A and B are shown apart, each in its own frame.
Chain A
């Protein structure tokens, strides 16, 4: 499977009469966006606002972040099985509006969504402060159940991102990157002397409002399976969760999975990157056993020498992470695991809920409990009425002057476990 990824650099976003890209500026027609969102009868109202890097703007409660992309050549469309037919994607050519994103907001559960600051100390912890964002603040019709609200907001974000992505179809990209993964036997023949490496991609599936979708399937219901890495770049995996926003993968994170990118960087040089195994993090023990048995089985079946295992979330999924690591290592396959830590506000507690001596190669995205003070911002996109209750907040988190004292857990993507950031932790 071979995919060309054409990146159109977006350096600014503005409202305009038509939605288009002109010399690096993305213009969006506000009314058109409102019309698209309001197609859904579950939605009472939507506010469309822009947020740019460096502005004194706080966006909260953030549910998802999505990168506008469009299929230019090759079969299928972006977000197969959700926004289009379930055609297998990942081949041909895709254009990306690099530097732009759609952000969905709404107090779906209230304490499960995140914060994005566009400037100040908080902005250093989230990659989305560097993007030109089109924000949708969505209110549900009265009496709508939380999970229906979540689904409505999820779909609204995908629809708007797809709409905006389409304007990139005929634009000449600033840069084109090519990614290719061959069928297993061909790949092995091509690089017979390089170690075969796979990527075990754990998806958040802890329950209602804690879900991830693969080609439209709720991944609670999958058994571990194999994907070509380029499928992910075309939106095969998307987010339906955001609780403890620091270490949940937004749809943007999936689209731009950095582990996939960095494995490709070394492919054909130091390693032979043969593919991805996706798996889930269900809460029942039998599911955990089955899924970790299967990831280990598939790693062995693919003849892997090494694998990177990435987690999504913390606590309960720590057990899935350690089970995966232990069972894959037991097959004689070397692992590196990517996680984050909950070591307490003082950093003195043990960081994971499970551990094993076999997990001797760990990359950490930081201690989510560390406290930060976010100064007041001039503009709030969304609302602050849940700040004291947000996961990572506490009584008194929101101060009278509008500043927030909270754990970095509240910041969307702060301790991402795909290794998206430079944030990490060391022992002092």
Chain B
């Protein structure tokens, strides 16, 4: 079998060109190994070989990201590599960002396995850990002796298309992707064991580290409702009877937008709920209980609100991922703004 062809990316400092004063150099490519590539090659042995090294100044990359990326992509492409490795960047911030960005670009545009390595607090780690594998290193280049073999070993795994194990086993920074696995013990036993460790003050590993939640600031109060266009939206799953867009009863992958121009009241014959997470009897009898179109029409008539927007947007909140919910909202928030809607009532269940 022929050797795996590797292209390696490093910055001006690790190429021995210079420090901060040389950080503005443009990308260049050299055949073979430069600088830390030698350490990677020790682990690659006969299986892989660094055929070229791309060097770019950290300032140049970060100040000219698009241009730098496209130039580097062209350089790398010419070598027809099977694998791309960037860094390790340790705790060098701009270098870490460059490594993350170029690794992501190579992976997505050239569709070849790509990996980088850096310290977990390097800003590049947070920016790119979801997109690419980043091998965790210590914070300074003094740890090159352990960082380079770890990076090279993982790179070989990627190139061989071997199964990637957990972050703990394979040494990369967790990407925040939750994957199901079967553990050795059932959950109850794991819970009892964990509690006993916690009671004894021994170290234990939680199976789900708590996320940090976004806190959304409530909008400012609307001073005069009588002049504005108001829209009503729901995650309670109210849809025209028959659920024409087949919005899922749980874990919604879509939302619906429905015209209620001239609709004064949601009736049992015309609307229902698609939501699978609550008893649907009362919502199906009278969908206004979830999406209060009837009272909003009254308020419109009384002049309390200027106008009820002609569309309502709806989905089922039941089990729907935050990712999907954010995506839906980003889309219809734009439409609402474009339609001149100034206030929204969001109902849940």
Determine whether the beta carbon of B187 is less than 8 Å from that of A424: yes
Determine whether the beta carbon of B213 is less than 8 Å from that of A355: yes
Nearest residue, chain B, Cβ from A415:
B180
What separation, in Å, do the CA atoms of A90 and B21 have in the docked complex?
A: 79
At the interface, yes or no: B190 with Cβ under 8 Å from chain A? yes
Determine whether the beta carbon of B321 is less than 8 Å from that of A344: yes
At the interface, yes or no: A41 with Cβ under 8 Å from chain B? no
Q: Given A244-B319, A363-B191, A427-B167, is A407 in contact with B251 using a C-beta cutoff of 8 Å?
A: yes
For A261, list chain B residues within 8 Å (CB). 188
At the interface, yes or no: A409 with Cβ under 8 Å from chain B? yes
Determine whether the beta carbon of B322 is less than 8 Å from that of A393: no
Query: In B132-156, which residues have CB < 8 Å from any A CB?
Result: none
For A347, list chain B residues within 8 Å (CB). 177-179
At the interface, yes or no: A96 with Cβ under 8 Å from chain B? no
Q: Given A355-B213, A409-B250, is A266 in contact with B186 using a C-beta cutoff of 8 Å?
A: no
Q: Given A208-B279, A349-B323, is A425 in contact with B188 using a C-beta cutoff of 8 Å?
A: no
Determine whether the beta carbon of B182 is less than 8 Å from that of A423: yes
What separation, in Å, do the CA atoms of A395 and B178 have in the docked complex?
A: 24
For A368, list chain B residues within 8 Å (CB). 319
Pick the residue among A147, A210, A421, A427 that contacts B186 (CB under 8 A): A421
Q: How far is the CB of B183 from chain A (nearest CB, A)?
A: 5
Q: Most chain-B Cβ atoms within 10 A of its Cβ — which of A370, A393, A428?
A: A428
At the interface, yes or no: A369 with Cβ under 8 Å from chain B? yes
Interface band, chain A? 35 or more
At the interface, yes or no: B80 with Cβ under 8 Å from chain A? no
At the interface, yes or no: A265 with Cβ under 8 Å from chain B? yes
Nearest residue, chain A, Cβ from B185:
A422
Q: Given A347-B178, A359-B210, A427-B174, is A369 in contact with B321 using a C-beta cutoff of 8 Å?
A: yes
Q: Given A344-B321, A394-B248, is A338 in contact with B178 using a C-beta cutoff of 8 Å?
A: no
Cβ proximity bits B173-204 to A, threshold 8 Å, 1 near / 0 not:
01111111111111111111011101100001
Q: Which of A70-78, A162-170, A384-392 contacts B (4 or more CB under 8 A)?
A: A384-392
Nearest residue, chain B, Cβ from A305:
B199
Nearest residue, chain B, Cβ from A269:
B196
Pick the residue among B166, B198, B251, B322 that contacts A426 (CB under 8 A): B166
Query: In A362-413, which residues have CB < 8 Å from any B CB?
Result: 362-370, 388-395, 407-409
At the interface, yes or no: A285 with Cβ under 8 Å from chain B? no
At the interface, yes or no: B277 with Cβ under 8 Å from chain A? yes
Determine whether the beta carbon of A209 is less than 8 Å from that of B195: no
Pick the residue among B180, B248, B322 that contacts A423 (CB under 8 A): B180
Pick the residue among B130, B248, B317 that contacts A395 (CB under 8 A): B248
Determine whether the beta carbon of B184 is less than 8 Å from that of A360: no
At the interface, yes or no: A279 with Cβ under 8 Å from chain B? no
Determine whether the beta carbon of A348 is less than 8 Å from that of B186: no
Determine whether the beta carbon of A338 is less than 8 Å from that of B210: no
Q: How far is the CB of A329 from chain B (nearest CB, A)?
A: 11
At the interface, yes or no: B246 with Cβ under 8 Å from chain A? yes
For A364, list chain B residues within 8 Å (CB). 187, 207-208
Pick the residue among A124, A243, A341 that contacts B208 (CB under 8 A): A341
Q: How far is the CB of A314 from chain B (nearest CB, A)?
A: 7
Nearest residue, chain A, Cβ from B246:
A395
At the interface, yes or no: A179 with Cβ under 8 Å from chain B? no
What separation, in Å, do the CA atoms of A207 and B248 have in the docked complex?
A: 21
Determine whether the beta carbon of B180 is less than 8 Å from that of A370: yes
For A369, list chain B residues within 8 Å (CB). 251, 319, 321
Pick the residue among A262, A334, A366 that contacts B192 (CB under 8 A): A262
What separation, in Å, do the CA atoms of A423 and B191 have in the docked complex?
A: 13
Pick the residue among B174, B186, B253, B321 that contacts A343 (CB under 8 A): B321
For A262, list chain B residues within 8 Å (CB). 188-189, 191-192
B interface residue numbers (CB < 8 A to A)? 130, 164, 166-167, 174-192, 194-196, 198-199, 204, 206-213, 246, 248-251, 253, 276-281, 317-319, 321-324
3 tightest A-B contacts by CB?
A419-B187, A344-B321, A419-B188
A interface residue numbers (CB < 8 A to B)? 109, 111-112, 124, 145-147, 195, 197, 206-210, 243-244, 258-259, 261-263, 265-266, 270-271, 305-308, 310, 314-316, 334-336, 338-339, 341-352, 355-357, 359-370, 388-395, 407-409, 416-428
A-B contact pairs, 7 of them (CB 8 A): A195-B199, A308-B192, A344-B251, A349-B322, A389-B249, A418-B187, A427-B176
